[in-house]
Amino acid sequence: MGKTTSIDEKVLIACHRIEELYHETGGKCYISFSGGKDSTVLLALTKLCIDAYTLPAEGIPAIFSNTGIEMGITVDFVKWCKESGWYPSVEMIRPEKSFDWCLKTYGKPVRSKLRSEFLRRWQLGNRTENVYRSFVVGISNRGKHSGRTKLADRDAHFLSDDFPILASPMCCTILKKRPFKHYAKKNGVTGYAYGIRTDEGGARALNTERYKEQKGGKICTSISGGFIKKAPIIDWTDEDVEEFIKAYNVPLSKAYTEFGFNRTGCMACPFNPHVDWDLTYLHDHEPNRYKAAMHWLKDVYIAQGVKLPFDPEYEREREEMWKIYEPMRQEMLRKYRPNSRLIKDYQELALF
pLDDT at 341: 79
How many Å apart are CA 148 and CA 169, to the nearest integer?
15
Q: Would you say residue 204 lies in a domain?
A: yes
pLDDT at 223: 87
pLDDT at 98: 96
Which phi and psi angles does 167 have, rounded to 5°? Answer: -95, 150
Q: Would you say residue 198 lies in a domain?
A: yes
pLDDT at 215: 43
CATH number, position 192: 3.40.50.620
Whether the Cβ atoms of residue 328 and residue 160 lie closer than 8 Å to each other: yes
Which phi and psi angles does 47 have, rounded to 5°? Answer: -60, -40
Whether the Cβ atoms of residue 87 and residue 55 lie closer than 8 Å to each other: no
The pTM of the full predicted model, rounded to 2 decimals, is 0.87
- Cβ contacts of residue 285 below 8 Å, gap of 6+? 73, 259
How many separate domains does the chain show?
1
Q: Would you say residue 86 lies in a domain?
A: yes
Strand ranges in 33-138 using DSSP code E only, listed in sequence order: 62-65, 90-93
Q: For 313-350, what is each residue's pLDDT tens digit? A: 999 999 999 999 999 999 999 999 988 877 766 665 55
pLDDT at 217: 52
pLDDT at 343: 75
Q: Would you say residue 60 lies in a domain?
A: yes
Residue 266 β-bridge partners = 70
Which phi and psi angles does 298 have, rounded to 5°? Answer: -55, -40
SS3 state at 84? coil
C-alpha torsion 291→294→295→301, nearest 10? 170
Q: Would you say residue 217 lies in a domain?
A: yes
How many Å apart are CA 12 and CA 74, to the nearest integer?
28
Which stretches in the chain have pLDDT values below 70? 1-4, 200-218, 344-352
Helix 238-247 × helix 37-51 angle, to 10°: 50
Which phi and psi angles does 55 have, rounded to 5°? Answer: -135, 155
Residue 60: name the closest of 100, 20, 98 by CA: 20
Q: Which domain, by its residues, includes 62?
A: 7-98+172-257
How many Å apart are CA 254 and CA 277, to the nearest integer?
15
How many Å apart are CA 22 and CA 190, to the nearest integer?
10
Q: For 159-185, what is each residue's pLDDT tens digit? A: 999 999 999 999 999 999 999 999 999
Q: Would you say residue 212 lies in a domain?
A: yes
C-alpha torsion 164→167→171→177, nearest 10? 180
pLDDT at 1: 38
How many Å apart are CA 347 and CA 351, to the nearest integer?
7
Within 10 angstroms of residue 294's Cβ, the number of other Cβ atoms is 20
Whether the Cβ atoms of residue 153 and residue 337 lie closer than 8 Å to each other: yes
Within 10 angstroms of residue 48's Cβ, the number of other Cβ atoms is 17
Q: Would you say residue 349 lies in a domain?
A: no
What's the N-to-C CA distance of the chain in angstroms?
54
Q: Would you say residue 26 lies in a domain?
A: yes
pLDDT at 140: 77
